[in-house]
């Protein structure tokens, strides 16, 4: 299979990965009214997904580096899509919580494998751009999740929203099973297969580990905003559920796509001039995001707030490609699924597994505005972890270098 065809199959899977994940947030008020639950319980629906997601990643990462990965990709799609359909059939809070946890297993399996699998098909000087294009599925899928959830939820109820978006993933799972071939696995069959001890080696890889911690802080902020901004617009701007989903969905798909595209292109171009290219792009996005997000929260004028929130969202998406390319560069080829599994565990354990429920709890205590400000402030320690990652990468000779003649073998 050509890299381009593989890209589009994985991109579509990633698109519905995020649609099925994010549709929950636009129907938060509808679920709350129907099931009569608190803000903390709403946030827990998001958090339980992430807890299962991150715990399953190391398991699938270990086996994916030992067996053909197309089977894991297809099985993951079947599982998360089926669980999304079951979310629409939930009759109480516990059954909905269980369905969301099951979605975490399916999506955890896909995300762990897809990015390193795709990166192997391209030379390193193009990886930030390719992974940024792949990452466009995040803002596009999230936005479609918000839009579809708001429209379908308002018209036919929140259960119909889940059942509508869950079905396409089943068809894409069949496409992945029949079309994707893992050529790299045939090469790995001739080598010694990685063992569980490789996870310890990743935890000793200081540049990789500190990058994961910086990524966790970004994930905390992005996950928290993704969960609560539609509700924020509903409460403070008096928008309907459908309007709030439409507004925030539009901001995510435009700002997210713009930021992801700029981040990948800028990082690959800057890589020709400095080995610190990825780190510089990521740090700049963190620093610039904070004041714009804070201005949006502080202002009481909706037009000004929407503009500053849009700029902030653009900045928070800029690191998507550079971070993924850095993780590929800072990990060994034979254990890349395991490396991404460790990354997934760390970023969600310290990131969006905590932030939706924590923001909900802070909102119950101090109001949603203060909770959102706290969510954004965690990008400050992210800059410190990023500095440490760059420092150790230089000391250990792991900085990403540009070579025009490089091939996909990297």
Domain CATH code at residue 348: 1.20.1250.20
State the average pLDDT over residues 145-174.
89
Residue 102 has pLDDT above 90, yes or no: yes
Residue 196: CB partners within 8 Å, gap ≥ 6? 62
Question: Would you state the pLDDT for residue 330?
Answer: 86
Query: If phi over 0 gives left and psi between -120 and 50 gives alpha, with beta otherwise, what is residue 36?
Result: left
Residue 284 has pLDDT above 50, yes or no: yes
Handedness of CA 239, 245, 250, 251 (dihedral sign): positive
Residue 105 has pLDDT above 90, yes or no: yes
State the average pLDDT over residues 57-84.
86
Asked if residues 296 and 309 have their Cβ atoms less than 8 Å apart, the reply is: yes
Place 1 in a pLDDT band, splitting at 50, 70 and 90: low
| Token pair for 383 | 């800059």
pLDDT by residue (tens digit) across 169-227?
Answer: 999 999 988 888 776 655 455 455 556 667 777 888 899 999 999 999 999 999 888 88
Question: Would you state the pLDDT for residue 406?
Answer: 44
Whether 403 is in a domain gets the answer: no
* Range in 313-317, 347-351, 404-408 with the lowest mean pLDDT: 404-408
Question: Would you state the pLDDT for residue 127?
Answer: 75
Place 283 in a pLDDT band, splitting at 50, 70 and 90: very high
State the average pLDDT over residues 240-264.
85
Q: How many domains does the chain have?
A: 1
**What integer best gives the mean pLDDT of the chain?**
85
Question: Would you state the pLDDT for residue 192?
Answer: 54
Rounded Cα–Cα distance for residues 96 and 28 (Å): 12
Residue 157 has pLDDT above 60, yes or no: yes
Rounded Cα–Cα distance for residues 326 and 50 (Å): 23
Question: How far is Cα of residue 355 from the mean position of the Cα atoms in its chain?
Answer: 14
Whether 35 is in a domain gets the answer: yes
Asked if residues 235 and 33 have their Cβ atoms less than 8 Å apart, the reply is: no
Provide the residue range defining the domain that includes 374.
Answer: 3-181+197-395
Asked if residues 86 and 99 have their Cβ atoms less than 8 Å apart, the reply is: yes
pLDDT by residue (tens digit) across 71-96?
Answer: 889 999 999 999 999 999 988 999 99
Place 165 in a pLDDT band, splitting at 50, 70 and 90: very high
State the average pLDDT over residues 141-158.
85
Whether 47 is in a domain gets the answer: yes
Question: Would you state the pLDDT for residue 231?
Answer: 85
Whether 354 is in a domain gets the answer: yes
Place 404 in a pLDDT band, splitting at 50, 70 and 90: very low
| Token pair for 278 | 């990825």
Residue 44: CB partners within 8 Å, gap ≥ 6? 97, 356, 357, 360
Q: Which residue has the higher pLDDT, 184 or 385?
A: 385
Whether 349 is in a domain gets the answer: yes
Question: Would you state the pLDDT for residue 292?
Answer: 96
pLDDT by residue (tens digit) across 107-147?
Answer: 988 988 888 888 777 777 777 788 888 888 887 887 788 78
Whether 71 is in a domain gets the answer: yes
Whether 120 is in a domain gets the answer: yes
Residue 54 has pLDDT above 50, yes or no: yes
Rounded Cα–Cα distance for residues 209 and 265 (Å): 25
Whether 92 is in a domain gets the answer: yes
Place 63 in a pLDDT band, splitting at 50, 70 and 90: confident
Most confident option among 25-34, 205-214, 356-365: 205-214
Question: Would you state the pLDDT for residue 403?
Answer: 43
């Amino acid at each position: 299979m050509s890299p381009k065809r593989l890209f589009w199959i994985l991109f579509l899977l990633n698109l519905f990965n995020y649609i099925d994940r994010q549709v929950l947030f636009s129907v938060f008020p509808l679920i709350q009214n129907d099931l009569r639950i608190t803000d903390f319980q709403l946030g827990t629906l998001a958090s339980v997904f992430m807890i299962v997601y991150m715990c399953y990643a190391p398991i699938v990462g270990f086996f994916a580096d030992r067996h053909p990965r197309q089977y894991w990709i297809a099985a993951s799609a079947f599982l998360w899509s089926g669980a999304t359909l079951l979310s629409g059939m939930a009759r109480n809070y516990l059954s909905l919580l269980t369905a969301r946890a099951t979605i975490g297993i399916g999506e955890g399996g896909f995300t762990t494998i897809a990015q390193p699998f795709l990166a192997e098909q391209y030379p390193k000087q193009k990886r930030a751009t390719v992974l940024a294009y792949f990452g466009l599925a995040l803002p596009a899928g999230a936005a479609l999740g918000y839009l579809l959830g708001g429209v379908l939820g308002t018209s036919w109820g929140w259960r119909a929203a889940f059942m509508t978006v869950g079905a396409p993933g089943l068809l894409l799972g069949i496409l992945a099973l029949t079309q994707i071939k893992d050529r790299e696995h045939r090469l790995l069959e001739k080598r010694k297969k990685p063992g569980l001890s490789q996870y310890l080696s990743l935890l000793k890889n200081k540049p990789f580990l500190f990058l994961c911690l910086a990524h966790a802080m970004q994930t905390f902020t992005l996950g928290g905003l993704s969960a609560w901004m539609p509700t924020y617009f509903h409460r403070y701007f008096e928008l309907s559920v459908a309007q709030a989903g439409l507004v925030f969905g539009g901001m995510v798909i435009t700002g997210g796509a713009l930021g992801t595209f700029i981040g990948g292109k800028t990082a690959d171009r800057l890589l020709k001039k400095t080995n610190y290219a990825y780190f510089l792009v990521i740090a700049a996005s963190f620093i610039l995001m904070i004041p714009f997000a804070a201005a949006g929260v502080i202002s009481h004028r909706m037009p000004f707030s929407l503009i500053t929130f849009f700029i902030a969202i653009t900045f928070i998406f800029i690191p998507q490609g550079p971070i993924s390319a850095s993780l590929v560069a800072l990990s060994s080829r034979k254990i890349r699924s395991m490396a991404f599994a460790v990354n997934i565990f760390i970023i969600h354990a310290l990131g969006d597994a905590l932030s939706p429920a924590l923001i909900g709890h802070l909102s119950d205590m101090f109001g949603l505005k203060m909770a959102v400000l706290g969510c954004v402030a965690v990008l400050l320690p992210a800059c410190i972890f990023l500095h440490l990652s760059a420092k150790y990468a230089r000391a250990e000779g792991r900085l990403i270098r540009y070579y025009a003649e490089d091939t996909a073998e990297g």
